[in-house]
Structure 1
Amino acid sequence: MADWVREVFSVQKPVIAMLHLSALPGDPGFDTRAGLTAVVDRAKEELDALQQGGVDGVMISNEFSLPYLTKTEPITAITMARIIGQLLGDISIPYGVNVLWDGRASIDLAVATGAQYVREIFTGVYASDFGLWDTNIGEVARHRTRIGGAGVKLFFNIVPESATYLAQRDLASITRTTVFATLPDAICVSGLTAGAPTDLEALSVVKKSAGTVPVFVNTGVRAENVADQLALADGAIVGTYFKKDGVFENPAERERVAELMANARSAR
């Protein structure tokens, strides 16, 4: 596994928690009456639950900006930068960002806020619930260098949620060429939607094909399966399970975080 994972997270097989921001200005679900104060207040409460529960890192995303755009409006990353600025004094673990589903905006936000990593769909062409979804990793990689973000680690999700790869290629081939031609820092393997189980067979195929590039399980990790997932993967990204009752829309709950993290520590 790449040395950078231990350097950033100070552990093997880290568990990164998702901090899902409520709907933001411009999103259909934004609560104009409660305003950004309510978004920040919830984010602070959830950050506290995640950190007190013992996660190794946090990824801040606009998860409730449904329906997603593949090229976001400027207001989204600008608002996220403001929110993260208000959270920085409380963040005590490595943090990353994810502007769904916009790799360039994610890198911009990381550079602006000092985030150490981003997760996005950086490669491939897909038929998705959001329409035809195209990417341009060559342009995005050069943009990262131009704006001083060469040190920002890129997590490539090669099994995107709510989408199907248009080329008829098997997962092993996609993984090998992604590693060779596009230089990911890590690869993420997902289920169909947030919280959906990641297929262990798919995870195994990606791990065997990725060489020295770290592979993270990206969805569906639970207290009862984290040991099995980490037996294959080099780390995990967890969102839905940490929520009250395991419900996507609910806030994170410290007790659920602590339960999963105890099992993760025993497994690694």
Structure 2
Amino acid sequence: MTTWLTDVFDAPKPVIAMLHLSALPGDPGYDTKAGIAAVVARAQRELEALQAGGVDGVMISNEFSLPYLTKTEPITAISMARVIAELLPSLSVPYGVNVLWDGRASIDLAVATGAQWVREIFTGVYASDFGLWNTNIGEVARHRHRIGADDVRLLFNIVPESARYLGDRSLKSITESTVFATLPDAICVSGLTAGAPTDTQALKVVKDAAANVPVFVNTGVKAHNVAEQLAIADGAVVGTYFKEDGAFENQASLARVKELMDAVQEFRATSPL
């Protein structure tokens, strides 16, 4: 299947590595003594490990801005733009951004930093750990057009982490109507939380229902299951597995990045793509 992925990435079934930024100004966990310089320094170390390990792209997110807001404060995207500006001279792979959990702010940040895609919850209404979570894709799509961001690809997470869809609808039905009515550039399928396994059957249901829209496995990808997941999905987003000891809060490990990417290269070499 030929899609926009072939224009952006050099390899088939790309693996996008998450670059999780430390807590930012305004976040409860922000280290005011170390300041933004410490956030930049950690991000630079992580980027070096991810790129040296052979990932196909990176997605920069405010993963440690816990607990998340569904409408973020301006300081969050502003701080992320500062960090990304410092990373740009070192970035050698395609990159995207994700301001959790704010689709409009994510698109704004992409325009400001030259990012090629964003990932967010753009559709649906959910009961979540962060309260009642509503979306307005029509408003977001119009905002995207107004600010000249039509070339910023939108990755829709239709199985959001830490939340449950309020409508009594099947995953197949949600996928079909999302593709028809809201025009996603890709669909992401997740487990319960960051690092939690994505159900293979759910992934297949979405892939079968998504027509020509690319589908990414969004959480729980590991060296031992990446071939199984990529046999179904068009790409993968990987965060937690790349961390030291596979622990969410740790920094990226070059050895773990290479381990998973070696498995990906083996899959690409032995499977029809």
User: What TM-score does the superposition give when structure 2 sets the normalisation length?
Assistant: 0.98
* Secondary structure of residue in 1 paired with 2:118: strand
How far apart in 2 are the matches of 1:20 and 1:8?
22
What is residue 197 of structure 2 aligned with on the other side? Answer: 197
* Secondary structure of residue in 2 paired with 1:263: helix
Segments of structure 1 that go 5 or more residues without pairing to the other structure are: none
How far apart in 1 are the matches of 2:167 and 2:2?
29
How far apart in 2 are the matches of 1:118 and 1:2?
20
How far apart in 1 are the matches of 2:146 and 2:203?
33
Instruction: Report deviation, 1:10.
Output: 1.7
The share of aligned pairs that are identical, in percent, is: 76
What is residue 222 of structure 2 aligned with on the other side? Answer: 222
Q: What are the residue-to-residue correspondences of 1:1-268 with 2, within 5 Å?
A: 1-268=1-268
Deviations 1:36-85 (A, max 9, x none): 11100000000000000000000000000000000000000000001000
Instruction: Report deviation, 1:11.
Output: 1.5
Runs ≥4 in structure 1, deviation > 4 angstroms? none
User: What TM-score does the superposition give when structure 1 sets the normalisation length?
Assistant: 0.99
* Secondary structure of residue in 1 paired with 2:6: helix
Deviations 1:126-171 (A, max 9, x none): 0000000000000001100100100000000000000000000000
How far apart in 1 are the matches of 2:125 and 2:10?
35
What is residue 271 of structure 2 aligned with on the other side? Answer: none
Deviations 1:184-230 (A, max 9, x none): 00000000000000000000000000000000000000001000000
* Secondary structure of residue in 2 paired with 1:80: helix
**Paired letter, 2:251:** P
Instruction: Report deviation, 1:2.
Output: 4.3
For the 8 Å contact 1:2–1:214, the answer to whether it is kept is no
For the 8 Å contact 2:122–2:137, the answer to whether it is kept is yes
Segments of structure 2 that go 5 or more residues without pairing to the other structure are: 269-273
